[in-house]
Amino acid sequence: MNYISRVELDMTKKWFLVEEANRNMNIAMICADTIYAVNQLSGEPNWSVDKIESSIDNGKRFLEEFSVAIQSMYSNDVSSDPFMFSLADETARSIEVRPKQLVSMTRKAIADLSKRLLSSEAYDLLTSIIKVTQQAAIHKCELIKPIIL
Amino acid sequence: MRANQANYSVMPIGEKALREKIDKIAHDCSRLHQYPMRLFKEHVEEVRKEVIRRLLDSEATTDPILKKQYYLFSWLAVYLLNDQVEKFALVKTSANNSMWKQLNTVIDDLVNRLGLSSRPLPFFGGSFYCTGSFTYTERGIQLSPFYQVSAESHESILFWPLLAHEIAHLRLNETDMVNDLRSELTRQNLRNEKYRRRLDEALCDIMATLLYGPAYIASFGTKFWQILDELSDESYPSNQFRLFAMFTTMERNDVGQSICSILRDNFQISERQAKKEKISFMMDEMIELGDKLVRHPTDVDEAKIADFCVNPNSIDKGRLDYLFNTLWLMTYQGTQTFDAVTDMANGLLERWTKGL
């Protein structure tokens, strides 16, 4: 591969890397906001009621999408986009559970959020997703340009 | 115990440093009043406010995992913003380039014809590419998208149809209509992210072809034909497939067929080779989606193009698709040298931008 073509390639790839870093970080933020919003229901809130409610709803919506992505790992009738699929796969690996177990954990978390609660299992699920997406986002940033000296 | 008991005493200092950094960036941009520079100032201010908000959340929460996440988000936002600042220096330099207005004319044409929500800041850089902050609007995150697009400096204006491919990436960022095709990839066991990237690249080629017709194929083929076969990067569809999809798009829309046949003779495409590409089974759906995403596709009339080849000054003002196709036809027919056609393109576009 000559120098010029490598430069062309790197620049176009950068588009995808920034996009993928953003996507991962957005999901980490949705999960973090969901936990923080539920925490604020039982104490002195820092956010407005609207912000708390919409953060919990965003978390629920994300988990519903996440649940579909997990199901696509074992059912041919269900499909999801490759990004959500690999997030589901990575999460299942990181907490060492089978996809079907992960679906039931996710459904339980959705049910918790509907009641504006967060069990320790739901908290563990959300923080696991945060860790997986944080790692992916930082890895993409490192590929964009070196982070460490 | 719900979370690791890490020592986060370093966090407040890190947060302070980040806050100071974003304030400095915002201060440096605070004197940008003129459009399109003002767009960047507004973007920086928006990011600054969000970073400050998130640093406050980081300070307020007692959960170490959330603390770290809010800090990391702020860090990432500043990291990406720094990259945009680096590019913005090129925007400022580019504003003094004699081709600046012409570049903006092409960008405006593409933004309007694709119905993009946010106008990208263009600049002259080392190659044709795009960057920015893309997905803040997803799932309740509030920031608006911010885009930067580079045109290769010192490259002939004849290659500017390649900008259509870059702007098409931005359009894909603003739609969920592509989700069905992405899901189809997982259904077909093409789950690696390289296939998603290939799908996006092929879709952008199709959209660029719909925008500038054979002129996009000529720009792409002339610039990359000799190089792409030597590349082995898996994030791109095969060269044969990319060109095959472009020609098929023109054929389905019955546009520019005689110009395409001249180009076909030069780029020798094998349908058999093209169909070896793993994502080729979705080509029909990709073309269908491209048709939906391009608000105003080209309708270049070849009889008119033939007339314009004799008298390029009569090209309708603002019709960049006619301009680029006329010039590429002259080049491939050999009626004018490449240099002469480039000069002609510069002259015509300069007159149009001056409103003459």
CA angle B96, B105, B286 (to 5 degrees): 125
Distance in Å, alpha carbon of A148 to nearest chain B alpha carbon? 12
A130 within domain boundaries: yes
Q: What is the pLDDT of residue B9?
A: 57
* SS3 readout for chain A: CCHHHHHHHHHHHHHHHHHHHHHHHHHHHHHHHHHHHHHHHCCCCCCCHHHHHHHHHHHHHHHHHHHHHHHCCCCCCCCCCHHHHHHHHHHHHHCCCCHHHHHHHHHHHHHHHHCCCCCHHHHHHHHHHHHHHHHHHHHHHHHHCCCCC
Helix axes B193-212, A3-41, angle to 10 degrees: 110
Sequential DSSP letters for B241-292: HHHHHHHHHHHHTT-SHHHHHHHHHHH---HHHHTTSGGGGGHHHHHHHHHH
Q: ipTM more than 0.95?
A: no
A82 within domain boundaries: yes
| Number of folded domains that form chain A | 1
Compute, in degrees rounded to 10, the torsion defined by CA atoms B170, B174, B177, B179.
80
Cβ contact B79–A147 (<8 Å): yes
Structure tokens at B235: 């994030």
Q: What is the pLDDT of residue B35?
A: 67
Cβ contact B179–A81 (<8 Å): yes
Sequential DSSP letters for B75-138: HHHHHHHHHHHHHHHHHHHHTTSTTHHHHHHHHHHHHHHHT-SSPPEEEEESSSEEEEE--TTG
Written as one letter, the residue type at B277 is E
* Facing residue for B70 by CB, picked from A32, A55, A127: A32
* Facing residue for A26 by CB, picked from B61, B139, B200: B139
**Within an 8 Å CB–CB cutoff, is residue A119 touching chain B?**
no
Segment B291-317, tens digit of pLDDT: 999 999 999 899 999 999 999 889 988
A79 within domain boundaries: yes
What's the rounded Cα separation, in Å, for the pair A91 and B330? 56
Residue A33: closest CA among chain B residues belongs to which residue?
Answer: B66
Distance in Å, alpha carbon of A108 to nearest chain B alpha carbon? 18
Which of B225, B165, B232 is CA-nearest to residue B200?
B165
The answer to whether the beta carbons of residues A15 and B130 sit under 8 Å apart is yes
Written as one letter, the residue type at B328 is W
**Within an 8 Å CB–CB cutoff, is residue A26 touching chain B?**
yes
Segment B87-142, tens digit of pLDDT: 888 888 898 999 999 999 999 999 999 999 888 989 998 888 887 664 444 455 55
Cβ contact A21–B83 (<8 Å): no
Cβ contact B69–A55 (<8 Å): no
What's the rounded Cα separation, in Å, for the pair B291 and B208? 11
Compute, in degrees rounded to 10, the torsion defined by CA atoms B325, B328, B330, B334.
-160
* Facing residue for B183 by CB, picked from A15, A22, A80: A80
Cβ contact B186–A82 (<8 Å): yes
Written as one letter, the residue type at B100 is W
A149 within domain boundaries: no
A87 within domain boundaries: yes
H/E segment holding residue B330: helix B320-333
Written as one letter, the residue type at A94 is S
pLDDT bracket for residue A7 (50, 70, 90): very low
Q: What is the pLDDT of residue B3?
A: 45
Helix axes B214-228, A3-41, angle to 10 degrees: 110
What's the rounded Cα separation, in Å, for the pair B216 and B245? 12
Could you list the residue range(s) of the whole structural domain that residue A100 is in? 3-144
Q: Given a cut of 80, is residue A91 above it in pLDDT?
A: yes
* Facing residue for A35 by CB, picked from B63, B68, B139: B63
Distance in Å, alpha carbon of B222 to nearest chain A alpha carbon? 14
Cβ contact A22–B133 (<8 Å): yes
**Could you give the residue ranges of the DSSP H alpha helices within B151-213?**
162-173, 179-187, 193-212
Mean pLDDT of chain B: 87
Contacts of A67 (CB under 8 A, 6+ apart): A103, A106, A107, A110
* Facing residue for B186 by CB, picked from A2, A80, A144: A80
Cβ contact A81–B83 (<8 Å): no
The pLDDT tens digits along chain B (356 residues) read 344 444 455 667 877 888 888 888 888 777 776 766 777 888 888 888 888 889 999 999 999 999 999 999 898 888 888 888 888 888 888 989 999 999 999 999 999 999 998 889 899 988 888 876 644 444 555 567 788 899 998 899 999 999 999 999 999 988 889 999 999 998 898 988 899 999 999 999 999 999 999 999 999 999 988 777 676 678 889 989 999 999 999 999 999 999 999 999 988 889 999 999 999 999 999 999 999 999 999 998 999 999 999 998 899 888 999 999 999 999 999 988 999 999 999 999 999 988 76
Segment A13-52, tens digit of pLDDT: 778 888 888 889 999 999 999 999 999 998 889 999 999 9
Structure tokens at B287: 């073309």
